[in-house]
Structures are given as structure tokens and as C-alpha cells.
Structure 1
Amino acid sequence: MLYAETAPYRVHALHVSGGHVLHVEESGHPDGIAAVVLHGGPGSGSSPLLRRFLDPARFRIVSPDQRGAGRSQPRGSIVDNTTDHLVADLETVREALGIDRWLVVGGSWGATLALAYAAAHFGAVTGLLLRATFLAREQDIAGFFQPRDGEHAEAWTQFAAVAPADQRHALLPFLARGLAADADTARRLALAWWRWESTLATGTLAQPEPSGAALDAQVDRYRVQSHYLLHRCWLDAPPLLDRCDRLPVVPTLLLHGTEDRICRPEASVAVHGRLPHGRLRLVEGAGHDPTHPAMAQAMVETLDGWSS
């Protein structure tokens, strides 16, 4: 269903403000349709999986690691690291690579950043494919750190147990402080966060669990993510939903799994209500995982159609 993994044909190290150096990969066809693929998190970093939804024979695929994420340096840094910085960085990447306009593909936080970027630089966007859109509203952020019942009750209890009982009402600030503390504390909290997120994303706890260098990477990831979430991703003035009025009239598809427990489908429904030219598809049975067969098929078929 997905395209075969392909190695990048070119790798860039782009210096931007605040001492950050962005790791950017180009793969696919050098003369193909330009498409930038935005990873989630914030802080997760790109991966070969994210470009496998695009036909490498048709697309020139640009995969940037955002500030503090993936192989960008310094990893885990929250200095000069805000949404406005990331939006500006995308323009830096586009111009450095000599791209006039490009298709923007993003999932979860990647869809958030795609919306913020397209609203600010609408002339540079040829289309938007947005999966599991996250609006970074107070209710979107708080919902992730609130108790769950039913099938996720036990997983929630284990996650919340990392904090003293009197601090579980403010779990995000507690986690943010701990991720900036000593290494052992940071690793313990990062692993707890990873377990909770993994369970919500797929319904089961993924194996194997990260350890060693992989766990240290998760510490950096969640340090960046908590930094963003504590500040509502700097997207409340104006709210991201209100910025949709500035979006370009280009092919736009919102995909959202009906069973997504991390980013609720209501967010994509709300965005669709602001985009008369956009299309919304709720993917029955899919959760947050982009590799769910129905979600993967929807993404591949859409991108194939846009490239034909």
C-alpha cells in the first residue's frame, strides 16, 4: 500500500537563527512535483515512513526536521523555538532549495504547522493534505492530560502515577519541569509519556520500548513538546481556526480517523467549516496512526490523484 522506502538524494544543513541548524532531506524525483512533509510532535522529527505516502517517481519530497527535533541541532533545544520560528524556517528551506511553490503535507502537529504556514505564506502553497489536525486550543491540550475511563483507565493511572497526587491536576507543568531536571528523572518521565501516547495512538503499548540513546531522544522530543504545549503553541493570537480565512484556495483535504484518541476529529470538522473549498473525510475505524490501512489508502490515493 505504501511506496517503498527510498534514500534521500540530497541532504542539507541549513543554519537559521538562535544557533539552530536544520537537517533537511530531499528524496524522490529531483524534477518532480515539490512537496514538503511536516512531521508531528512538536519535536518528533521526520522519518522515512512519512515520505512513503508519496510516489517517489512523481514527487520531489522535502523532509525537514524542525528546530530541536530529529537530526536538527542542537536536539532538544527550546531556545528561539516557537511556531513563528518554524513557519519562517519553512520559507528559508523553500527558498534555499529554489522551490517556487509546493504541496504541504502534515499530520497531527504537522497539520497544525501546515495551516499556520499556509495562512502566512499562501502564495507558496499548491495544496494541503492535513491528517489528524490539532488546533492547539486549551481543550485540545488539556484533553491529553486529563483522566480517561473505559479501555484507557489503567494506562491513565500508570501515566498519572509519575506525579505526586497533589500535582496530577497540573500534569503538563510537572512533566515540563521534570524533563529539564536530572537525566534519570527526565528518562523516567519521558518513558511514561511515551507509553501513554503509544497506547492512545494504537490501542496497545508498542514494543520494544525505547531505551538508551532512543530514550534520550524521547527526552529531547518531549522537552520540545512540553515547551510548545505550555505556551499553547503560540497559536492563540489569533487562534489557528481564525487564520483559516487566509488560506489559499487550493486543493485541500482533511483526513481524520473516527477513533483518534490524541487529536479529536472535531478539530478537522471545525477547520472544514471555515474552508468552503476544502474536503473532509472521516476515516472509519482509524485512530491516530497514519499506517492504519484505511488511512494509508486515503492518503496514497489522494496524493496519487493530485500528481496525475
Structure 2
Amino acid sequence: MYPPIEPYQTGTLKVSDIHTLYYELSGNKEGVPVVFLHGGPGGGVDAKDRSFFDPVKYKIILFDQRGAGKSTPSACLEENTTWDLVKDIEKLRQELKVDKWHVFGGSWGSTLSLAYAQSHPDRVKSLTLRGIFTLRKSELKFFYQEGTSHLFPEAWDEYLAPIPVEERHDLILAYHAQLNSVDDETRIKAAKAWSKWEMVTSKLFVDPEHVAEADKDEFANAFARIENHYFVNGGFMRDGQLLAPQEIDKIRHIPCTVVQGRYDVVCPTTTAYALKKVWPEITLHIVPDAGHSSREPGTAKLLVEAANKYADL
């Protein structure tokens, strides 16, 4: 990854009566525009996200999606759907006077990248995706109900702890009730447990520093509430919509590189493989010694290489 850099411009963009987005620009003011779509939903951007891109070649655009990071109001679920976010990306593109841009996203960011590209294929020069997630019921069930639980039983016990035994047949729904509780203590306790489950399982080698993020009240509240809101609503789309051949046909002409950790137990490799089967034109790299995180060495290296390749398009 490239050395750390600071933004040369930050700003806010009012996208509805409720929501205002934070965005930042770094790299080359006259460079090729690339927009970074963060994960979660609700995760927010991080300074390290700038470092996937060559700052000499790229105009690097990062923003926090509705309710996440520095966008306001924090953790707000009103007017917060996949299609609201797709519209926001377009509003940001227009605000920044960008004609076409490269789109880069991992995990939920890959979901949003596909949804945006399928809605606005004429605005996307390339797609660089990591940890493919298409929000199918089977994917949610694997991570939040039964699947990853078999690999991380001790962490799974902590994830189960806030939920009464009689409600554990549908954990996403059970968490929904607690994450929207009027009682602050109930809500924050549930938010930290939900967030910690993802932090513990997202790297091949558990990273204590990453896990510690889940203990921050404001981060956990936004991350857990927004994620759960999207998941309990099936991403506000038809099951399997993003993989449907008629949707893929809209973007088949767009160059696309996918980087997938073999041992990703948050967004398992089966989804990236399903994307490759319906869209054989993509370049799919399966990293043999990586989990879900974009920061694992083999994954980061391939993401940077893909971004470097597309900079000259």
C-alpha cells in the first residue's frame, strides 16, 4: 500500500432533509477520479483507505455513507436504504463535477459498488471489488445464524449472550429488537456484541487492535444498528438480485477485478465464485492465506495492483 497522505479538501454534502454526508479528496487534484465505498454498512472510512491508490495518478474520493463515520445524524436509520446510497453516490459525483470514475469497494462496499454500477453503468470506468457480498439470505444465514459459528465457537458464545434462548432461532431479528431499544444500556451492549463478532472473525489471524474497535460506543452503535437494519430488510432488494443475469448484462462491459480471501468466513468465497460464473469476464483472484480483511498482505497487494492497472484506463 502507498504511504499515508492527508486530504487536500474535506466537505459535507446535504443529500436529504435528514442526512448530510462527510467526504474528502486526496492525491492528485487533476488525477483520475476513484471513489472508495466503505463496508458495513455503517463502517465509515479510515485514513488507511487512501493508501490503496497511487496519489500521483488518482484523485482519491472517500465519503461516509448515511449514518456512518462523520456523516450526520450518526446511526440514523430513516431514509437509509441501498437505493438512497446509490443516489448519494450520484449526487457526490455531480457535486465534484466528475464525468466517470473508478469504483473500489469491499464487503458491503462490493454490494454497493455492484448496485451503483448496475444503476449507472455509463458512469463507471472500472470495478475493483473485495470480499464479495450480495446480501442473499444464504449469505446472511451463514454468518449470523449457522456456519461461521462452527469455526469460532468461543466468539459465537459471546455473540449469543445478549439474546434470550427462546429468540435464537432468528438472531438478526432478535438483535433488531435490542439494537432499537429505547434503553441505552440494552442497545449499546447489543451493538458491541454484534460488532465484536465481525471484528473477531474478519482476519485469518485475529487482530486484538481490530477487535478493540467494537468497544467504542459510537462506532459500535452506528455499525451494528445500520448493518442490522439493512440485513433485516434483505438489503432492500430481491434475493439474488445483484447476481441476476439481466443485471450483470448491464455491467458486463466494465473491467472488473475481484480479490477474495480463501478463508473469508464473513463473506465466503462461494459468492465471489457465483459472480465469476455469471460474469466470466471478470478477473478473480483467490488469496490462499487470507480472510475477510482488505489489510491482509496478499489481499492488499492485489488490490493495489488492480488499482494501479486501472489508473491508466
- Normalised by the length of structure 2, the TM-score is 0.93
Q: Name the residue aligned to 2:103.
A: 104
C-alpha offsets along residues 113-161 of structure 1, whole Å, 9 cap, x if unaligned?
0000001100000000010010100011111112455541111122112
Aligned to 1:63, the other structure's residue is in SS state strand
Unaligned runs of 5+ in 2: none
Cα offset for 1:49?
Answer: 1.5
C-alpha offsets along residues 257-303 of structure 1, whole Å, 9 cap, x if unaligned?
00000001111111112223211111111100111111111111121
Q: Name the residue aligned to 1:72.
A: 71
Q: Name the residue aligned to 1:17.
A: 16
Q: Name the residue aligned to 1:176.
A: 176
Unaligned runs of 5+ in 1: none
Equivalent pairs counted in the alignment come to 306
Q: How does 1:1-308 map to 2 (within 5 A)?
A: 2-147=1-146, 148=148, 150-181=150-181, 182-202=183-203, 203-204=205-206, 206-207=208-209, 209-210=212-213, 214-236=216-238, 239-242=241-244, 243-308=247-312
Cα offset for 1:18?
Answer: 4.0
Cα offset for 1:251?
Answer: 1.7
Cα offset for 1:211?
Answer: 7.6
Cα offset for 1:217?
Answer: 2.2
Cα offset for 1:176?
Answer: 1.5
CA contact (8 A) 2:135 2:240 kept: no
* Letter of the 2:174 counterpart: F
Aligned to 2:71, the other structure's residue is in SS state coil
Cα offset for 1:12?
Answer: 1.8
* Letter of the 2:152 counterpart: H
Cα offset for 1:43?
Answer: 0.7
Cα offset for 1:237?
Answer: 6.7
256-265 vs 297-306, which moves further: 297-306
* Letter of the 2:161 counterpart: A
Which runs of 4 or more aligned residues in structure 1 lie more than 6 Å from their structure 2 counterparts after TM superposition?
Answer: none
CA contact (8 A) 1:125 1:248 kept: no
Tell me the distance in 2 between the aligned counterparts of 1:80 and 1:168.
29
* Letter of the 2:107 counterpart: S
Structure 2 CA distance for partners of 1:149 and 1:238, relative to 1, 3 Å: closer
C-alpha offsets along residues 30-76 of structure 1, whole Å, 9 cap, x if unaligned?
11110000000001111111221111111001101111111111111
* Letter of the 2:286 counterpart: L
Aligned to 2:170, the other structure's residue is in SS state helix
* Letter of the 2:223 counterpart: R
C-alpha offsets along residues 206-252 of structure 1, whole Å, 9 cap, x if unaligned?
2472487x322211221111110001111217711112221151221
CA contact (8 A) 1:25 1:64 kept: yes
68-77 vs 244-253, which moves further: 244-253
161-170 vs 201-210, which moves further: 201-210
Tell me the distance in 1 between the aligned counterparts of 2:257 and 2:214.
37
Aligned to 2:152, the other structure's residue is in SS state helix
Cα offset for 1:204?
Answer: 2.3
Tell me the distance in 2 between the aligned counterparts of 1:125 and 1:13.
23
C-alpha offsets along residues 73-100 of structure 1, whole Å, 9 cap, x if unaligned?
1111111111110001100000110000
CA contact (8 A) 2:45 2:64 kept: yes
CA contact (8 A) 1:187 1:219 kept: yes
82-91 vs 203-212, which moves further: 203-212
CA RMSD of aligned residues (A): 1.6
Tell me the distance in 2 between the aligned counterparts of 1:156 and 1:224.
21
